[in-house]
Amino acid sequence: MHDFRSFIQLLKDRGELDHVSRPVERTRELAGVMSKIERTRRAFYFSNVEGARFPLVGGLYNHIERFGAALGHAGPEPFTNEEFDRRIEAAKANPVAPKTVPTGPVQENIITGDAVNLGDLPVPTFFERDSGPFITGAVGITRDPVSGELNIGVYRTLIIDRNHVVINASSMSDLRQNYNAWEATGKPMPIAIALGVPPALLIAGACKLARNVCEYGIAGGLAGQPIELVRCQDSDLLVPAGAEIVIEGTVELSERVNNTLGEFADQYGPETAPLTRVDTITHRNDAMFYSIVAGRNPEHNTLGHVAVFGIQRSIAAGIRAAIPEAMDVDVLFEPVMGTLAHVTIAIDKQSDAQPKEIIERAFAARGDIFPISRITKRIIVVDNDVDVHNRDEVQWAIWNRAADAAKFMVIPGVESWELERAAKEGQRSVRIGIDATMDLADVEKLMRPIIPGADKINISDYID
């Protein structure tokens, strides 16, 4: 299991890290070079971002195998999404509590007052219509003011000036709830963001976990050892002792800022979030700044997968509760399919009216994060001979078993998640239901051709 520095060293040793030592300009040049390198699935290290005091690293986790390497997966079998999901579930079942230590490398240098200057960090401006430079590779740390529980997540953070940022929180995030809860107390809200954290903590931060679950414990479970924490300089927040850089601030909840960044599904995402005043920056000696190329790009999308495991699980549970007759359920989330889920349900069909009734019932289901209809774009019902987890099979069923127009349902005016950027007035959007089952009268006609006995054949009995 690696920490941030040992993982970068591993990439260097494997010859997977490109070094850029020529001067690179940060608003018009840096993101372009980062994204070009990243497309080759290599990691990068920029030692000379103009005007910055720190080097920039990134492209670290731009394919799933890198997460495996960071978590100590030795192979020879490839590290898959399923294995990743399994490890996260195991960590949730066996969290390892963090350990607070008196001090740590992240506090080797402490910058306060007028010396604070976010311009010292090599923060790229990514897309032409972004509101400015965004920190993308940090985890944000806050406390629930009522329970006192710490919460960690990955949040895009806009730099406003030398000592102000805007840390964004979607309506689904616990951070949004913490903003609201602190606003209700009327007290100033402390916040910290940490860059260059252990891989297990970045993963746990990206996971959608229940509100009362602390990501530090899950990170410890993933790492197989406690995450070491130190107390912030200005608050009782606890931050990773071995992080590269920590930015400590106070949220000014009365002041909200609109801001825009190109998002994971290849659209701009306007957000509104409170202003944060940065009071202190601490950093290691020779600290590195970590940046994830925003938008629909490999590292962001690979890490985004982690964020959706929990959401997928929650939608699947909501559907199973509402549709007890479902034989199997698949929840697909991929940037190429937009920001919402595509759900497929397999049934042992009893009547031709049943699939439509199931689609209506599934869209009406509650779900524990959101109502299912808010986060699900399309629900497909298939016969039980179709593997719902195989996208080709589901496509095959849609285009081979549905000939009646009534099998394609278009449901207008549904309230959608704010991340569906194409939604209309009042965040209303369309939902699609597809009955891809065989009509009962057609079952004989549409029977799938099978080769009798093929499934019992052991191929090694035949090949010399």
Ligand X SMILES: Cc1cc2nc3c(=O)[nH]c(=O)nc-3n(C[C@H](O)[C@H](O)[C@H](O)COP(=O)(O)O)c2cc1C
- Cα 275 to its chain centre, rounded Å, is 23
Mention every residue, 6+ apart, whose C-beta is less than 8 A from residue 322.
Answer: 361, 362, 364, 365, 366, 372
Of the residues 168, 233, 259, 312, which one makes contact with ligand X according to CB under 6 A: 168
DSSP letter for 424, please: B
**Which range touches ligand X (CB under 6 A), out of 40-48, 153-161, 342-350, 398-406?**
153-161
In angstroms, the CA 62 to CA 50 distance is 25
| For ligand X, the closer CB: 131 or 173 | 173
Residue choice 55, 59, 124, 153 for contact with ligand X (CB under 6 A) = 153
Identify the DSSP state of 231: E
In the complex with ligand X, which residue's Cβ is closer, 288 or 326?
288
Which is closer to ligand X, CB of 155 or CB of 407? 155
For residue 76, whether the previous peptide bond is cis, meaning omega lies within 30 degrees of 0, is yes
Shortest CB 144 distance to ligand X, Å? 10
- Taking CB under 6 A as the criterion, which residues in 300-359 touch ligand X? 300, 303-304, 307
Instruction: State the minimum distance, in angstroms, from the CB of residue 101 to ligand X.
Output: 24
Residue nearest ligand X by beta-carbon distance: 153
Q: Which is nearer to ligand X, 134 or 359 (CB)?
A: 134
- DSSP 3-state of 178: helix
Kindly state the number of chain residues that form the binding site for ligand X, as judged by CB under 6 A: 20
- Greatest Cα pair distance, the chain, in angstroms, is 79
Instruction: Kindly state the smallest distance separating residue 264's Cβ from ligand X, in Å.
Output: 8
Contacting range for ligand X; rule: CB under 6 A; set: 162-170, 357-365, 380-388, 412-420: 162-170
- What track of x and - describes contact with ligand X for positions 109 through 148 (by CB under 6 A)? ---------------------------x------------
Three-state DSSP at 204 gives: helix
In angstroms, the CA 327 to CA 437 distance is 14
Write 78-85 long-range contacts (CB < 8 A, 24+): 81/305, 84/305, 84/306, 84/309, 85/309
The H-assigned helical ranges of 111-206 are 174-185, 199-206
User: Residues 208-247 vs ligand X: string with x where CB under 6 A?
Assistant: x---------------------------------------
Report the residue number, 368 or 385, with the smaller CB distance to ligand X.
368
Q: Is 10 exposed, middle or buried (0-12, 13-18, 19+ CB in 10 A)?
A: middle
Minimum distance of ligand X from residue 417's CB (angstroms): 11
Nearer to ligand X, 207 or 331 (CB): 207
Q: State which of positions 277-306 bind ligand X (CB under 6 A).
A: 292, 300, 303-304
Cβ 124 to ligand X shortest distance, Å? 13
Rank residues 92 and 208 by Cβ distance to ligand X and give the closer one.
Answer: 208
Is 57 one of the binding residues for ligand X (CB under 6 A)? no
C-alpha torsion sign, points 363, 369, 370, 371:
positive
Q: Please, which residue, 304 or 335, has the CB nearer to ligand X?
A: 304
Near ligand X by CB under 6 A: residue from 156, 284, 305, 374: 156
Query: Which of 61, 420, 128 lies closest to 262, judged by CA?
Result: 128
Question: What values do phi and psi take at 47, rounded to 5?
Answer: -95, -5
Antiparallel, parallel or unpaired: β 376-383 and 341-347 = parallel
Half-sphere exposure of 70 (CA within 13 A, CB side): 25
Q: State in angstroms the smallest separation of the CB of 338 from ligand X.
A: 16
Closest CB to ligand X among residues 169, 230:
169
In the complex, what is the shortest distance from the CB of residue 327 to ligand X, in angstroms, rounded to a whole number? 30
Contact 167, 140 (CB under 8 A): yes
CB 436 within 8 A of CB 381: yes
Number of Cβ atoms within 10 Å of the Cβ of 461: 6
Instruction: Give the residues lining the site for ligand X (CB under 6 A).
Output: 136, 151, 153-156, 168-170, 173-175, 206-208, 292, 300, 303-304, 307
